[in-house]
Copies of this chain bind each other. A is one copy, B any other.
Amino acid sequence: MAVETLYRSTRDLETLFVDRKLADAHDQMLELAESLTGLLMSNVQGLSETLAEEVSIYLAKNRSVLASAFKNNVGALAELSQPASDANAESDQP
């Protein structure tokens, strides 16, 4: 028997991590998603909170590719179109 240290984001109490870095990344992803959800709900008429959240989490999970696409490189999005390669820390299997 032993004791181990666990980490979780206060934004998502159900997801536990043994690696603090992964917990940090998860928290930052959720922080971004939360802000995006609010923005989308105030700016896109007819978008439900559930859909706004799902869109936001998808965007936040892929933030680095999107940062590049939004900056100047639309082509970067092609990386997300390939269904096979889903190399996220959060792992999001289809």
Contacts and interface: CB of A to CB of B under 8 A. Distances in A.
A45 to B, nearest CB: 7
Given A31-B74, A32-B74, A74-B35, A55 B66 contact: no
Query: Interface of chain A, helix or strand or loop or mixed?
Result: helix
A70 B40 contact: no
Question: Size range of the interface on A?
Answer: 20 to 34
A80 B47 contact: no
Nearest to A53: B44
Contacts of A66: 66, 70
Interface of A: 28, 31-32, 35-36, 38-40, 42-47, 51, 54-55, 58-59, 63-64, 66-67, 69-71, 74, 77, 80-81, 83
